A = this chain, B = another copy of it.
Amino acid sequence: MENIDTAIAAAIENYHELNAAVVDELVEEPSPLEFMQFVSRNRPFVVRKAASDWDALKHWDAQYLRRVMGSEPVQVAVTPRGNADAVVEDENGQPLFVQPHETPEPFNEFLDYVHQDTQCPPEQQNGRNVKYAQTRTSISPPSPIHLFDDLPENDNLREEYYSLLPDIPESIPFARLALEKEPDAINLWIGNERSVTALHKDNYENIYVQIRGQKHFVLLSPVEMPCVNEQLLEQARYVPEQESGKLVIERSEGGETLPFATWDPDEPGERTTPFSHLAKPLKATLEEGDMLYLPAMWYHKVSQTAGEEGFACAVNAWYDMEFAGGFWTANSFLRDVMGAASKVVKYPALQMSDER
């Protein structure tokens, strides 16, 4: 090995040699043991039509949701361009991590808005805010120790969407039996194609089920971390201007920062690292009733297409990942080496006696 960069590139290439750049498709839900084999390999899969029997799949049209949820207030993420929890450059081109404006709205009004928005011809969408009923994505903190005592604050399907919970099976048996735990959070996502979830990772095993419309996942394995150009970004938030209500970016007062992927697999030539070209993103589109196992620490960018009813809707369960064993450590090590490499002055390879 000439140097650290060569080692990093070799790891990404080695991973691709040993793993196909496709998402496995299963014809039925895996057994707990089969699921554990995928968890062990940290590899995603899709089960087509896994949720065919779910009441959610049978019933969740606009009329039903309106009836059950009525004007119950739900938390809505509002952004100018469907970019909640995403990287936005400020006036000086400096990338910021910008959270959406979060505001409670009566559910039926929110659904009307999304519906109208979906009908609205693109040329009229300009200036129209985008709304997404979403669960704030969990952002991996630097140390797992920190995680043990704080559950994700979201878990919206067991809270504000509680009335819809009976339409979801009480548990996903293969996941419960294999992971030997209940999900830390069960989330509902309602939006349309104007909302895109930026590339990020979560420290959860994720079972994601599409109910209405489609979801389009772009996936990168944890080994591809060096490709995604994670940077410590200053945190900011969209806030409505007093008079116009127009959303403007406000930086966090304390100047808090957060490590976040700044490379976008759909703009592969922008904000690159020397390793971005080695990424081999996997793609999977979920149709109504399809289930995705999205393994812990995989980067995912998620976009969507509204269904017949004018919205896209999905449900997912987050199970705390396993920190014991070597997986978490291996990912931290890759991050640390990447961090160290970026600060090392690179010299040409020296002719030295080879000690190993």
| A: contact size bracket | 35 or more
> CA separation between A144 and B17, bound complex, in Å?
10
Among A32-40, A51-59, A69-77, A161-169, the one that faces the other chain is A32-40
Residues of B within 8 A of A356 (CB): 230-232, 259, 338-339, 342
Residues of B within 8 A of A40 (CB): 36, 39-40, 322, 325
**What is the chain B residue whose CB lies nearest that of A178?**
B33
B4-A340 in contact (CB<8A): yes
Q: Does A108 contact B (CB under 8 A)?
A: no
> CA separation between A239 and B1, bound complex, in Å?
36
> CA separation between A309 and B341, bound complex, in Å?
58
> CA separation between A230 and B356, bound complex, in Å?
7
B231-A340 in contact (CB<8A): no
**What is the chain B residue whose CB lies nearest that of A33?**
B33
Q: Given A18-B329, A33-B36, answer yes or no on A4-B1 (Cβ-Cβ < 8 Å).
A: no
> CA separation between A322 and B344, bound complex, in Å?
34
Among A5-13, A98-106, A113-121, the one that faces the other chain is A5-13
> CA separation between A324 and B44, bound complex, in Å?
12
B333-A326 in contact (CB<8A): no
25 CB-based A-B contacts, threshold 8 Å: A1-B339, A1-B340, A3-B344, A4-B337, A10-B332, A14-B328, A18-B323, A18-B324, A18-B325, A18-B328, A33-B33, A33-B177, A36-B36, A36-B37, A37-B180, A41-B326, A221-B326, A223-B326, A223-B329, A223-B330, A259-B356, A326-B330, A327-B330, A330-B330, A333-B337
> CA separation between A6 and B335, bound complex, in Å?
12
Q: Which of B36, B178, B327, B333 contacts A11 (CB 8 A)?
A: B333
Q: A163 CB to closest chain B CB, in angstroms?
A: 35
Q: A319 CB to closest chain B CB, in angstroms?
A: 13
Task: A7-B333, A41-B322 are known; give 8 further A-B pairs, CB within 8 A.
Answer: A1-B339, A7-B340, A10-B332, A11-B333, A339-B356, A342-B355, A345-B350, A345-B352
**What is the chain B residue whose CB lies nearest that of A20?**
B324
**Copies of this subunit:** 2
Q: Given A1-B339, A36-B37, A355-B231, answer yes or no on A326-B7 (Cβ-Cβ < 8 Å).
A: no
Sort A-B residue pairs by CB-CB distance and give the 6 closest, nearest first: A41-B325, A40-B40, A7-B336, A330-B330, A11-B333, A36-B36
Interface residues of A in 282-332 (CB under 8 A from B): 322-330, 332
Residues of B within 8 A of A327 (CB): 326-327, 330
Residues of B within 8 A of A265 (CB): none
A17-B337 in contact (CB<8A): no
A10-B325 in contact (CB<8A): no
Residues of B within 8 A of A325 (CB): 18-19, 40-43
Q: A225 CB to closest chain B CB, in angstroms?
A: 11
Q: Which of B1, B4, B223, B326 contacts A15 (CB 8 A)?
A: B326
> CA separation between A8 and B340, bound complex, in Å?
11
